[in-house]
Structures are given as structure tokens and as C-alpha cells.
Amino acid sequence: MDNGKIYIVSPSGAVDPEYVAGAKAVLEQWGYKVYVAPHACGKRGRFSASDDERISDLQSAIDAPGRGIILCSRGGYGLSRIIDKIDFSPLKSPDSYKLIVGFSDITAIHNAVSNLGLRSLHASMTKNIATEPESSAVKALKEALEGKPLKYRFQTTPFNRQGSVKGRLMGGNLSILYALRGTPYDLNYDGAILFIEDIGERLYHVDRMMQNLRLGGVFEKIAGLVVGQFTDCDADDSFNGGAYGIICEAVKDYDFPVAMNFSAGHIGECNMPLLMGANYKLNVSELSQIVTLDQTAD
């Protein structure tokens, strides 16, 4: 999938430099040549650097000769300030393609490259690579970077809805998807399998975002829905079933399959990678009590 080069950048929040150093050491043990961007370990308020410096670091990694991987050090907040200043078009050349890796605020990049018909990896970043290198998520990340197809089996939940579909996987952090609605970085949801996750949201915020997708016609377009972890979302007795109950109610009038409780999101060692933009088959079977989400051949 790459030529052995990994560029670590910090396009959003400030990161602990020890996580960057630790991740670099792990990635070098895997056999990669790792380059750390000039401002990757900086701090300017809540950001890693100024807008211009973060733009420069990310653009330089994109423009670097040859193929490779761009690992975002962390999420947080910041990409919405600069996403329109980044030229992702060099990645369209097969000789210059680089797989961009990250999650949370990095969803903005997943959207941008998805709209170019390219793939990106929703997966662990430097903290988990540095502190949990033997976790299932980081081991799966290693396999994904090596180009191995991602295949998952997980238990059904009472909120699931059975069915079997194929589609292009897209999505990520629900708050970022919501923030980018109506912008050039919104997604084309036609026939997609949509993945969503979030952290630290009040339940009525989750409901508001889901209603936005419903009112905007997203649920009329998608082929299936995979719901990851909604971590540290406040309990609220006015919503039955928590975040999953809210999501279930928002999609009740549609017939696509729904798979809840997938192991991805803000959950550390269990944040399993997903290749956004790749074709997947989602099968939610009532009889076997098992859900399968398998990356398929294009």
C-alpha cells in the first residue's frame, strides 16, 4: 500500500510529544521510515500550531514525492479552520497516493478524500500506538497498513435491524459529519454504508444531529448503518435506550440494515480500523446472532 514512509502530522489539537516519539519508535520497529512534521509536537492554545503552520505541515506531507502513509497524531479540534486550504489532489496520482490515518476530528479529511474517490483509514493514532502497541486495535492497524483486507464479526444487539447489503463505507465522527453538512466537504451518501461514532455529547445533541441527517435525506440514500461507540454521552431519562435508542428511533422508518456496538471510536485499545472509501459487505443476521462487516474486492 505504500513505499515504507510514514509522515506524522498534527493538523488539529496539540499532542503530548511523548506519544509522537513512542509511536515513531513502534512504527520504526514495524519497518517504516518515519518523518515527523516540523510543528507536529507544538502547542498554540488548543492547537498544535497556527493555522498556516498546520496547513504547511499537512500539505508538505501530501506533496512529498512517492507513495506513503500520513498518520495524524491526534484529533481534538482544528481541521474545520483549514480543510478548505488543503489541496488533496496530488493524492489522486497513483505514484503520489498516501493513505491518511486518524479518527475523531480527522473525519474532515476522510470526507475530503472520499469526495475525490480515494480511501483513508479510520484508526488509532499516536497515543494508542505508543502506549498500547500490543492491543487488538494497534495490531489490526499494522495489518491494515500492510494492505490486508479488514473483516469483522461481532454480536448483535436488541437495537440491530437485520439485512445484507454491499456499499462504499464512509463516515466517522457524527459531530464532524454534522458540522460539515451543507459544505463542499459533505458526503455523497448514495448507496453508502454509513459509519458513525462520537464522544462526550449530551443525548439531545445526538438526537439533534440524527434529526439533521433524517431531515436532510441522508437516510433515504444510504444502504446500511454501522454504529460504533458513543463514549461518555450523558445519561438523560427523557431518552430511552441512550444514544443507541436515539439512533434507532431516528431510522425507524427506513428498511436498511443497522448494526450497533461496533468496536470503533473513542475506546482506546478496541478502536478497530476501517478503510473508508472501500467496498464492504454488511450482514446483520438474526438467526446467527452475529454481524459481519467484511471489506470486499472492488
pLDDT in tens, 233-268: 877 667 778 999 999 999 999 999 999 999 999 997
For the cut 60, the answer to whether the pLDDT of residue 14 exceeds it is yes
106-115 burial code (b ≥16 CB/10 A, e <16): bbbbbbbbbb
- Identify residue 68 by its one-letter amino acid code: G
From the list 110, 124, 144, the residue with the least C-alpha distance to 277 is 110
Q: Is there a contact between 41 and 20 (Cβ–Cβ < 8 Å)?
A: yes
For the cut 70, the answer to whether the pLDDT of residue 273 exceeds it is yes
| Cell 450523558, located at residue | 234
pLDDT at 103: 98
For the cut 70, the answer to whether the pLDDT of residue 1 exceeds it is no
From the list 73, 75, 68, 67, the residue with the least C-alpha distance to 129 is 73
C-alpha cell at 71: 498518520
C-alpha cell at 140: 489490526
What is the value of pTM for the model shown?
A: 0.96
Distance CA 111, CA 271 (A): 19
C-alpha cell at 158: 436488541
Distance CA 71, CA 160 (A): 33
For the cut 90, the answer to whether the pLDDT of residue 271 exceeds it is yes
From the list 17, 170, 272, the residue with the least C-alpha distance to 8 is 17
Read off φ and ψ for residue 142, nearest 5 degrees. -55, -45
For the cut 70, the answer to whether the pLDDT of residue 296 exceeds it is yes
C-alpha cell at 264: 470503533
- Angle formed at CA 137 by CA 135 and CA 141, multiple of 5 degrees: 115
How many C-beta atoms lie closer than 10 Å to residue 166's C-beta? 15
C-alpha cell at 92: 489522486
pLDDT single digits (tens) 192-207: 999 999 999 999 999 9
- Angle formed at CA 257 by CA 253 and CA 258, multiple of 5 degrees: 85
Read off φ and ψ for residue 113, nearest 5 degrees. -75, -30
Task: Mention every residue, 6+ apart, whose C-beta is less than 8 A from residue 44.
Answer: 14, 50, 53
Pairing of strands 68-72, 5-9: parallel
Read off φ and ψ for residue 51, nearest 5 degrees. -55, -50
Residue 18: strand, helix, or coil: helix
Mean pLDDT of the chain: 95
